[in-house]
Amino acid sequence: MWQGLGFVAWCLSGILLGAWTAACLAALTVGRYIAAEWSSKKAQNTRDIVTIVFLALLMSVTALTWEGMSSLLPALAGVIATYATTQIRGASTRLALAFASALWGVNAWAWGETCGMIVSAGAALAGCVGAWRLHHAGNAPLSRQSMKDQAA
**DSSP percent split of the chain into helix, strand, coil, nearest 5:** 80, 0, 15
pTM: 0.80
Between 102 and 144, whose confidence is greater? 102
Would you kindly state where each structural domain of the chain is located, as residue ranges? 2-151
| pLDDT confidence bin for 113, thresholds 50/70/90 | confident
Those residues with Cβ within 8 angstroms of residue 50's Cβ, 6 or more apart along the chain or in another chain: 35, 36, 38, 39, 86
78: nearest Cα among 116, 141, 26, 121: 26
As a whole number of angstroms, the distance between CA 78 and CA 71 comes to 11
Calculate mean pLDDT across residues 42-58. 95
Calculate mean pLDDT across residues 10-26. 85
Between 151 and 75, whose confidence is greater? 75
pLDDT at 142: 47
